[in-house]
Amino acid sequence: MNINLTLFGQTLAFAIFVWFCMKLVWPPITAAMAARQKKIAEGLDAAGRAQQDLKLAQDKVSNTLRETKEQAAQIIEQANKHANAIIEEAKQQARVEGERLVAGARAEIEQEVNRARDQLRNQVAALAVAGAEKILESQVDAKVHNELVEKLASQL
């Protein structure tokens, strides 16, 4: 319980420890704490911004989706129109072709008829000539009477 030099030894040790703490302990720790605080604040900030960005992106996505849907609807409509047009055109073509075929057939038929008529006429002329030969009992010169026969035949 005696007061002695220990007193000053203790004070000296105290001073050294305080100095050491002030120089080498306190500043790095408080600096690290402050830096972390800043980092956390920045992180929270970034998170807030990211949330905002996400919201914007979501809005954008829904917008794009809507536009795309509209476009798709337009395309489908156009395609339908196009298809209808093609069908109409095909129908038109078919009709024209049909008419052409019919016209061709008709012309052919007419040709046949004309040919048959010519044949018939010729045969009738021959028959008439033969008939007339029989009637006249004389030889009719085909070459001489050809004009006559032709005229007769054309009247048929």
Give me the residues that bind other proteins (CB under 8 A), please. Answer: 1-11, 13-18, 20-22, 24-33, 35-36, 39
Which residue number, 2 or 155, has a Cβ lying nearer to other proteins?
2
Compute the least distance from the CB of residue 28 to other proteins, in Å. Answer: 4
Compute the least distance from the CB of residue 48 to other proteins, in Å. Answer: 21
Compute the least distance from the CB of residue 2 to other proteins, in Å. Answer: 6
Dist CA 79 CA 1 (whole Å): 109
- What tokens were used for 27? 């500043």
What is the CB neighbour count within 10 angstroms for residue 84? Answer: 10
Which residue number, 24 or 130, has a Cβ lying nearer to other proteins?
24
Which residue number, 16 or 86, has a Cβ lying nearer to other proteins?
16
SS3 21: helix
User: What DSSP character marks residue 1?
Assistant: -
Residue 111 CA, chain-centre distance (Å), reads 50
SS3 4: coil
120 and 88 Cβ atoms separated by less than 8 Å: no
Which residue number, 35 or 90, has a Cβ lying nearer to other proteins?
35
Compute the least distance from the CB of residue 31 to other proteins, in Å. Answer: 8
